[in-house]
Structure 1
Amino acid sequence: MSNIATIHPRDPHAPRLDERVRRTRRRLTEALIELSADRPLEAITVRELTGRAGVGYATFFRHYGSIEALLRGSVDDMHRDMMALLPPLTGDAPARAGAIVFEHAAQHPGMYRLLLKADRSLGLTTKIMEVSATSLLEIFESRPDARIPANVAADHFIASFLHLIEWWLDHDRPYPPERMGQIYQELILGPVEATALRRRPT
């Protein structure tokens, strides 16, 4: 969610400033994707990063204390995207909603690989896991005949979906997004609904 209205509710310049911050983050993240293609994240310096991105060294530190902080900002962006997609992923056309996620991953494979790779050493998707699982349980509740605890099922749902995206990218996208949306529905959503969760009544 944008913080423009919260911080500058009447400032006509706030949207432009917010967009400038977003553009800077995109440029830095794209540069980080390029640099991390042939070396570990730990070997990349802020000066290398800002030089590749065409962003001032001091500008970087006005927004981020470290490269890890930049990555956490990117994780926040991904989290917002997932929160927007979560209701469709569990709605009336989940296979199509799943296909949209895989289409997005196909358009931004470097970003997804970077964040999933960084998580192994930095734990960056822990927030996505925790908050997304909590949000999922605002949509679903435990089935009366549930064989799996709801919190376990919610964690499994989010972790499995992220892993499925990672597998698809690591294997050079062997199936089209539409097929991956069907696989998501049949492999993840369907079993979770059958064993643990049902949609809350509206």
Structure 2
Amino acid sequence: MSTDKKELDPRIKRTLHLIRDALISLMEEKGFEHITVRDITGRAEINRATFYLHYRDKYDLLDSIVNEMLSEFEAAFRLPDGFTAADFVTDDTPPDSFIRQFEHIAAHAAFYKVMLGPSGLPGFASRMEAIIRNSLYRRSTIAQPDDRQVAMPRDIIVRYVTSAHMGVLMYWLENDMHYSPKYMASELIRLHRLGSTHFFESP
């Protein structure tokens, strides 16, 4: 029932945005399980028939939003085709993919704040982490494809870095994104490259 937004005219796109914004704001207020379709249509100021033109029920709506956002999140963090070890930066210049990731979250901050908060969808954070972990794993194999040349099991390194990466994203959201996406991307790449203990060592 969910509609491909690429084929929609501006009026329908606007309606879908109203529906989706209504769901997110209601989730923040009272949690998903307590929301009805009537609540959503009332908040979006549309009739129920319009809602059912696009979604079977509130679960279909939520699945559509989550899948679309995570697809965009993954695309933002994806390395370009043909990326090689020679393309990795060696200074603190943040990769474009790191900046895009923060820009994507900033553009959809209300959604991510709800989904990663106490009223969010169980398992959502795990799906985000899986996207980050898979991307970082691929980057690690490009940087050093030979497991025998890695100082410890690759899975342990990637899991550790993934947790730190996710923690920084959540910190930024929880603190109302005081820093710019480029600044956060720069600091995150420094953490990835140097490790956290480096910043607490005596000069």
| TM-score in terms of structure 1 length | 0.66
| Structure 1: distance between partners of 2:124 and 2:49 | 25
Query: For the structure 1 residues 126 and 115, does the alpha-carbon distance in structure 2 shift closer, same or farther, using more than 3 Å as the test?
Result: same
Query: For the structure 1 residues 82 and 34, does the alpha-carbon distance in structure 2 shift closer, same or farther, using more than 3 Å as the test?
Result: closer
Which residue of the partner structure matches residue 186 of structure 1? 190
Q: Which structure has the bigger radius of gyration?
A: 2
1:86 aligned residue (66, 74, 77): 77
Which residue of the partner structure matches residue 108 of structure 1? 108
Query: For the structure 1 residues 15 and 32, does the alpha-carbon distance in structure 2 shift closer, same or farther, using more than 3 Å as the test?
Result: closer
Task: Report deviation, 1:185.
Answer: 0.5
Q: Give ranges in structure 1 of 5+ residues lacking alignment.
A: 5-13, 192-202
What RMSD, in angstroms, separates the aligned Cα atoms of the two structures?
A: 3.7
Query: For the structure 1 residues 15 and 177, does the alpha-carbon distance in structure 2 shift closer, same or farther, using more than 3 Å as the test?
Result: closer
Task: Report deviation, 1:165.
Answer: 1.9
Which residue of the partner structure matches residue 150 of structure 2? 146
Whether 1:166 and 2:157 are equivalent positions in the alignment is no
Identity %: 26
Conserved in 2, the CA contact under 8 Å of 1:102 and 1:181?
yes
Task: Report deviation, 1:55.
Answer: 4.0
| Higher mean C-alpha deviation, range 152-161 or range 166-175 | 152-161
Query: For the structure 1 residues 87 and 105, does the alpha-carbon distance in structure 2 shift closer, same or farther, using more than 3 Å as the test?
Result: closer
| Higher mean C-alpha deviation, range 104-113 or range 134-143 | 134-143
Conserved in 2, the CA contact under 8 Å of 1:129 and 1:155?
no
Structure 2 letter corresponding to 1:53? A
Which residue of the partner structure matches residue 83 of structure 2? none
Task: Report deviation, 1:166.
Answer: 1.8
Structure 1 letter corresponding to 2:154? A
Which residue of the partner structure matches residue 33 of structure 2? 42
Which residue of the partner structure matches residue 62 of structure 2? 71
Give aligned pairs, total.
181
Q: How does 1:123-142 map to 2 (within 5 A)?
A: 123-141=123-141
| Structure 2: distance between partners of 1:189 and 1:67 | 43
Conserved in 2, the CA contact under 8 Å of 1:99 and 1:178?
yes
| Higher mean C-alpha deviation, range 132-141 or range 87-96 | 87-96
Task: Report deviation, 1:68.
Answer: 3.9
| Structure 2: distance between partners of 1:131 and 1:104 | 14
Task: Report deviation, 1:72.
Answer: 2.7
Conserved in 1, the CA contact under 8 Å of 2:76 and 2:97?
yes
Runs of 4+ off more than 6 Å: 18-21
Q: Give ranges in structure 2 of 5+ residues lacking alignment.
A: 81-86, 196-203
Task: Report deviation, 1:169.
Answer: 1.7
